[in-house]
Each structure stands twice: as C-alpha cells, then as structure tokens.
A and B are shown apart, each in its own frame.
Chain A
C-alpha cells in the first residue's frame, strides 16, 4: 500500500489528467445514452468538458443545411465563457471549423497565430482573443452534424496539447453517435406519422370520387400508384337530365400533386353547380388554380357534358390525352386536346376554352390518364393507345362498370403511374341506321372553335370524319369531306390570318336532309370570292391546288355574308349520295370544269 502511494506521488500531472479524462468520457457517454433531451445533454456536457479540460471558453455549433452546399452554416447551440455567442451563425466552409468539418478530423492550434486558416473573432465583431484552440467535428459514419470547440486554457501562458485534442476527439465522437441515434429515432417517428397521414389523405381522396350506381351509363375508376393520387374524375348529374363529367391529371406525383388534385376536384364541384359549359368551366378553374399552382406544375383536364337525349357530348380538353370514341361498329376515333394544360400559359383573362361537340350515338367515349397507356405488358412494352383499344374490345360485351374493372385488373401489374378511366356509354346503341339518320336530320353534329394553326388541322379532320360517319356516310366519303375542310382551313390560316397563330376558326357541321353542310367562320380580313377560284391545272407548279380540291370534293361552295364582327363565312355542302372520287368517275363539278375548258 505504501508502495502504491509512493508510486502515485511519482505519477506526473499528464497521467493524472488522462485518468480524470477517462472518467469524464465514461460519464458523458452514459449521459448521452440515457438522455431524452439531447440539446440539454449536449449543453451540460459542454460545461463539464470546458471545466474538466480547463478551457476558458467553449462552443458547440450545429451544421445547418447540407455540408455539400457552399452556403451551409454553423449555428452556436451552446456556449461557455466570457462572451455569449449563442445563436451566432458562421460559414461552415471557412476558418478552422470549416477545415475540421472538411477533413472530418480534430484540429489542434497550440498557437492560433501560426495557422493561416485561423480567423480571429474580431473579424466578425466579437471582442475576444483566442491564443490556443481545439476544434473537433461532431460526426458519425461520415455524416457531419457540427463541431465542438475549446478556447484558451485557463492559465494565461498555457497552450492546448495533443492529449487534449485526443480527449476532445473521443468526446466529440460519443456526441456524434448520440446525435445520430436521436436523429434516426426522430426520422423513424416522422416516417410513421407521415405514413399514417398518407393513409388518411388517401381515404379523404377516395371520398372525393363520386358514388355511381353500378348500372349507370357513366362509370369511373381510379387506382393510385402510391397511397395518394394526382388523378381524379368526377361525375355530376345536371338538373336538365344531362350529365357533366371531368377527368384530370396533375403533373408530378406524391403529396404535392395530390393536394393540387384535391383543389382542382373541389373547384370542379363548386363551379360546376352553376357553370354548365365545359369551355367556360375550364377557364374558371384555371383562373383559380393559377393563383396557387407552384411554378412548373400544371394540370391536364377534360370536362364534358353528355346529353343522353341527343346522344352527344360536348368536350373541352386542356392539354389532356385524346378522348377515345368507340363507335357502334367498333371503330375508334380520337379527339385530341385543342388547348394547353391549365397553369401553363397563365392567361387569367381568358374566358373560355375550345369546345368540341359531337355525336357518340351507339358508342362509348373513353377518357383515360397516361397510367393506362404507359402501363407495361409482360415483356416491358407499353400498352399504348392501341393496347388500351384491344383491352376495350376484349371486354366490350361487359357492362361499363365491369368492363373498367376488367381493364384495370389487366393493367394493374404493369402500372407505373396513377390509373384513371372514365367511360360514357350511349344507350341508344342498337338503333338501326335509318332511324338514326332521321334523328339526326338538321341536327348540328359539330360546333367548335379552333385555333388557326397548322397543328390543329388533324383535329379538324377527325371532327369532320366523325360527323360523316355519324351521318351514315362511308369512310371514303367522310375522308373526302375532311380533306376539303382541311384545305379550306389551310387557306384561312395561310392567306386569311397570314400564319398569325392568334386567329380562330369557328367550325360547325349540320346535317340537312340529304347533305352535310360545313360552315367555317373566321375573323381575318374579308376576301373576295374572286380570290378563291384556284388556278388552271395545266400549269405544273407546286402551290394553288387547295381551292381546286375544295371544289372537286364538295357539291357546293358558298361565300355567305359573315356575322357581325367576323371576317368571312364559307359554307361547303357535300351530298350524302354523291359518288366518291376514284380518279375514273369524275364528280359533277369536275365534269363542269372539263366542259369549261
């Protein structure tokens, strides 16, 4: 015993310091492990460290932001010493602290004056002189949380030594481990809470979808790819017996898209009670949506009204995928969007979107989101519109509700995105053609305003073609009328509006007893009928064929007086019984032309 005491007397001050440091390390590690309040434990630990290591001042700085970000900062969360720097914010990439973080290594400056990276507190207006310091990173497995720093040993002439740096390094590691554990626990709790909230949000969204009777003519289906959906559909009966419907897809996925979807759905419900014109309703929804839509987000949406007595729909499509009409004979017709998505142009003053009215007599109209066409088949190939058509055909005999479920069931395993489907089935399907003709006599088959742009001509042709088919005409007959109307629209775009994309064309198609009458109204400067004669065909040159096609493919071309405010009104008439042009049997108008020559 005496010998031991003797030996202890000879243990130098360095060894005694190291022994007490070991106790401190053990004590703090245990304190961190037991702690419920890490912030408080760290603050207490800093005071114990400063006292035990005889430091005049100490500071604990937390890293704010990602260290890879050049703008990241260090914020003082605890301090000891003559100057209170709690809350002080310093750049995370400068000075000794920046170096310690970057190297993820403890920095010892026995004499601060000898280190070129050292920045004196006076540089940021703090009146404190640092002679000697240690800075240790708080990190765990490469993740950086901040730094702990000790300043100036108590005795004025003393400097920190490498054993001090080693001790602080070990303490900082223990603190880093404690911080890491706390954050992991917090993240786990947060994840659980988010998951619960996501489930609640998904339930709220499901409740927004309409409850439809199983035998209703309009059926919808929504299958979210994750818990919540960026798609929605809605169906709303109107007092006059018609039904309004909508289908939309918000750009992006996840919670932000889901929130915008809820807003769009709510706007449709509330405005839809008073506004029954799809084009006007879309404009109203856009005006409201734009106020809150984050830049870069947009919504594609189709709004329509189905009239079961007229067997027709009126659609407005803002940037959404083409609507698909499957006619009574099983042929498909697409009606693409005529306007950009909501939130892209942000034209608040716009008062209506283009509307497109057409017959779906005897067929079904399908609206869908890209989840349907972008679903993958077993080999990884996308279904596409054709794949969707095959699925519709395969389930055509089933009732609408069952048909949608069967389609969704097939697509389910290959889904990459939310899937939403809506079908409007016209129930006057099985009527014989002749009766349908009578029903349609003098009826307006199409009434649509179209932007005067080359890219819209495809839509014009689809509309004319569908009207021809609805009137019972052959594909060839309808195709000829479509070409004639396309050519007339080209003339308006090129010569009337001089290719200025702001112009518009009002297209309407009516069925007379024995003919279809296509009316085109534009707002370009008036042109005389003389300018529309076309050129003699004997001259072989590239342009000028358009007017010749129009006259050759129709039975009558009339330049009628335009309504007030409009520029020109052109009416093309094609008799339903006029023979189609096959190169050998000229139509009447061509015979007349030959006689003139």
Chain B
C-alpha cells in the first residue's frame, strides 16, 4: 500500500493505493488522522485501492468520526466496485459521503 497527500488551500486530498490490510492499515490510519488535524475539508481518493479489509474500513470510520466532530467535510472519491462491495457489506455505503 502507499499513501500520498496533496494539501491545497481549500482541502486536503489523500490518495490511498494498493492493498489496505492488517499490515498496512496503521499507516493509512495515521495519514488519515494527520489529514483531519489540518482542519480542512478532507477528500479520500480510493481509486487505486485494490483490496480493503475491516481494519482498513475501521481507519476510514475513525477518520470520518473525527472529521465530523471537528465539523469538517469528509468525502470518499473514485470508489471502485471492489471497495464499494466491502463498504456495502459493512452498511457504510449509506454512511460515508461518496463521490463516485
């Protein structure tokens, strides 16, 4: 998995790619929480994610809750079919703002 961050004046975009699993999700979680601490609207681009498990979903949920508490916008973009299946399995497709 790899993470890259693009911080603009208006928003922070995090690009996650590869396989987010138990081994790599701590890195994803750290990057997401860091981004929330920038106090800007957050865009999480999942276009290059080829696999995500419950620990990866948990990192997204935690970042989403922190962003919501801080009254920051939080949106998932480029959600592929594979990731979408996992989100819907966890019934999170109705919770996360998703821009496909």
Contacts and interface: CB of A to CB of B under 8 A. Distances in A.
A548 interface: yes
9 contacts: A458-B23, A461-B51, A486-B21, A541-B61, A542-B65, A549-B53, A549-B86, A580-B85, A582-B85
Given A454-B23, A542-B61, A490 B90 contact: no
Interface string A485-502: 011001001100000000
A549 B90 contact: yes
Contact of B59 (A479, A542, A549, A581): A542
A469 to B, nearest CB: 16
B3 interface: no
B62 A454 contact: no
B90 A543 contact: no
Contact of B58 (A537, A545, A552, A553): A545
A540 B65 contact: yes
B21 A545 contact: no
Given A458-B21, A542-B62, A487 B53 contact: yes
Interface in A66-98: none
Interface in B45-95: 51, 53-55, 57-59, 61-62, 65, 81-82, 84-91, 93, 95
B85 A545 contact: no
A583 B51 contact: no
B51 A537 contact: no
A548 B90 contact: yes
Contacts of A548: 54, 89-90
A333 to B, nearest CB: 14
Contact of B54 (A549, A580, A583): A549
Contacts, number: 74
Contact of A540 (B53, B85, B95): B95
Given A458-B19, A479-B51, A583-B84, 12 more contacts: A458-B23, A461-B21, A480-B85, A487-B54, A537-B90, A540-B65, A540-B95, A542-B65, A543-B58, A545-B57, A581-B88, A582-B85
B1 to A, nearest CB: 10
Contacts of B85: 476, 480, 580-583
A486 B59 CA distance: 17
A454 B93 contact: no
Contacts of B65: 540-542
B95 A549 contact: no
B54 to A, nearest CB: 4
Interface string A197-231: 00000000000000000000000000000000000
Nearest to A455: B23
A546 interface: yes
Contacts of B58: 542-543, 545
Interface residues of A, number: 29
Contact of B21 (A454, A542, A549): A454
A342 interface: no
A545 B22 contact: no
B83 to A, nearest CB: 11
A583 B100 CA distance: 15
Interface string B15-42: 0000101110000000000000000000
B81 to A, nearest CB: 8
Contacts of A542: 58-59, 61-62, 65
B100 to A, nearest CB: 12
Chain B's interface size range is 20 to 34
Contacts of B95: 540
A47 to B, nearest CB: 75
Which residue of B23, B54, B65, B90 has the most chain A CB atoms within 10 A of its CB atom? B54
Nearest to B90: A545
B21 A457 contact: yes
Contacts of A455: 23
Nearest to A489: B22
Nearest to A490: B22
Nearest to A491: B54
Interface string A348-390: 0000000000000000000000000000000000000000000
Contact of B53 (A483, A541, A543, A581): A483
Contacts of B82: 479
A192 to B, nearest CB: 52
A283 to B, nearest CB: 26
Which residue of A458, A479, A542 has the most chain B CB atoms within 10 A of its CB atom? A542
Nearest to B61: A542
Contacts of A543: 54, 58
Interface string A445-489: 000000000110110010000000000000010011001001100
The 6 closest A-B pairs by CB, nearest first: A583-B88, A542-B58, A545-B54, A454-B23, A454-B22, A542-B62
Given A490-B55, A540-B95, A581-B85, A457 B61 contact: no
B13 to A, nearest CB: 22
B54 A546 contact: yes
A545 B53 CA distance: 9
Contacts of B51: 461, 479, 483
Contacts of A581: 85, 88-89
A78 B86 CA distance: 85
A483 B23 contact: no
B58 to A, nearest CB: 4
Nearest to B25: A454
B90 A457 contact: no
Nearest to B89: A552
Given A479-B82, A542-B62, A543-B58, A549 B22 contact: no
Nearest to B24: A454
A549 B87 CA distance: 10
Contacts of A540: 61, 65, 95
Given A479-B82, A486-B21, A583-B85, A537 B91 contact: yes
